[in-house]
Amino acid sequence: MKFDFQASSTPIPSENVIAALQDANIPDLETASIRRLSGLINKIESLSGEKFIRMEMGVPGISAPKVGIQAEIEALKSGVASHYPPLTGIPSLKTEIARFVKSFLNVDVNSEYCYPTVGSAQGAMATFMVANRIRPEGATLFIDPGFPNQKAQVTALGQSWDSFDVYNYRGEVLRNILEEKLSTGQYTTLLYSNPNNPAWICFNDNELKIIAEVAENYDVIIVEDLAYLGMDYRSDYSVPNQAPFQPTVAKYAKDYILLISSSKVFSYAGQRIGSLIISEHLAQREFVTLQPTLGYSRFEHAMVFGGFHPLSSGVTHSVQYGLAAMMKAVNDGENPFLKDTQVYQKRAAEMKRLFTEHGFYIVYDKDIDKPIGDGFYFTFAYPGLSSGELLETLLYFGISAISLMNTGSERNEGLRACVSQVHESQFPLLEERIKAFSALMGE
Ligand SMILES: Cc1ncc(COP(=O)(O)O)c(C=O)c1O
């Protein structure tokens, strides 16, 4: 490490940081999982008695909508707890998911192929289990930087994956790298998140069209992860059935799966429910390679009986009522959910200002030719420091984040900050700590 923290006075006493680091025994901070880093920060907080500015974990920072909670309570009182939920989802939820897709994406989908999943995480797992078996040895291509858990899922299934950092492939050149990778024939799925965790990159319609065209050429199923649907606040996507709409590949592709997490858009992470939508064309396709392990060759049946059933035999009954009620409220225009989450935009703008005014820079700073939007995450770095050095140094200043090295980024100097847990009242403290950091760096 570059600095002798023991010789300097830092907001968090160096002996506490050093003791916690030794105790945690994390071989490499750059590649440590988010949960391990969180444990480390908890330890430093308890040793020092000082609260961190916590930017490491992507958890919602606002309360769950009352309408969802109330509907869950009513469902439980009515006795659903003793009944198995339908594997494909309760009818009212299926209808509301299809309405939601129409209201905010302006795409018509068949409610029959709209399913609840145990968080989007389970939706991704079921997708890999099934979609990577449409041909033998099927693999996933991830457009990175991305969400590490999905790669862990593919690996846990014994499947293979590859990825590329999209930083140098925005716009028309995206076609070149997709052609290069998908033409190998080894991929059966292509996954990206839009808006992107961690870089907050948002693909435009031209890029989504390119993705659709190249994937169709090589018969690759597109998995569009919409965990942050509508949260690119540079456009107002909050009004149902009114343009502009969240851009989506569903406008251009035939074979796609949409994953819509409820964790961030509805601040419902604890209840573990998400929505998975299969395009009608894909749902009705037959793949003989699915039959031996999943029992069915028709894609929709392989997903339901070969994926959802073995994974969890359905989604908690009451929470399906909760999500149906929340979706109905937003589809009816009664709950401006994207206005609630807009608090993250203001926070990100202010936090980015504080960092960049004191010598830091934003790593993924552009959407082709426009400045990147302000939202749930941003990426930042400090000249001359690797991400591991920056991560470790910031511990002495009571600021936590994760390394982009964990996300498939080639920008190994960067960190990801999540703004959700940082309250506006902490901004003066954040500024004080950032100033102390840059003063030390300038020494
Ligand atoms: C890009 C992305 N996809 C999926 C998820 C998982 O969502 P869920 O909580 O619904 O499983 C997350 C959560 O952080 C995410 O960032």
Share of residues in the chain with pLDDT > 70 (%): 98
* Residues 57, 197: Cα–Cα separation, whole Å: 12
* Residues 140, 192: Cα–Cα separation, whole Å: 10
Q: For the residues of 302-334, what is the DSSP string, one character each?
A: IIIIIIIHHHHSS--HHHHHHHHHHHHHHHTTS
The CB of 148 under 6 Å from ligand 1? The reply is no
For residue 84, count other CB atoms closer than 10 A to its CB. 9
Mean pLDDT value across residues 408-428: 93
Tens digit of each residue's pLDDT (9 = 90 or more) over 252-277: 999 999 999 999 999 999 999 999 99
What does the pLDDT read at residue 32? 87
What does the pLDDT read at residue 9? 82
Q: Closest Cα partner for 197 from 235, 234, 148?
A: 148
* Tokens 């990206």, located at residue: 192
Cα 206 to ligand 1 centre (Å): 25
Are the beta carbons of 157 and 132 closer than 8 angstroms? Answer: yes
Q: Taking the mean position of all CA atoms in its chain, how far away is CA 356?
A: 25
Cα 95 to ligand 1 centre (Å): 23
Tens digit of each residue's pLDDT (9 = 90 or more) over 29-88: 888 888 899 999 999 999 999 999 999 988 887 899 999 999 999 999 999 999 999 999
* Residue 89 pLDDT greater than 60, yes or no: yes
Atom from ligand 1 closest to the CA of residue 269: 9
What does the pLDDT read at residue 6? 62
Could you tell me the pTM of the whole model? 0.95
Atom from ligand 1 closest to the CA of residue 124: 4
User: Per 3-state DSSP, what percentage of the chain is helix, strand, and coil (rounded to 5)?
Assistant: 50, 15, 40
The CB of 72 under 6 Å from ligand 1? The reply is no
* Residue 352 pLDDT greater than 90, yes or no: yes
Cα 392 to ligand 1 centre (Å): 26
Cα 17 to ligand 1 centre (Å): 30
Tens digit of each residue's pLDDT (9 = 90 or more) over 151-197: 999 999 999 999 999 999 999 999 999 999 999 999 999 999 999 99
What does the pLDDT read at residue 412? 82
* Residues 14, 44: Cα–Cα separation, whole Å: 10
The CB of 261 under 6 Å from ligand 1? The reply is yes
Cα 198 to ligand 1 centre (Å): 11
Ligand 1 pocket test, pick from 127, 143, 144, 147 with the greatest ligand atom count within 8 Å of Cβ, gives 147
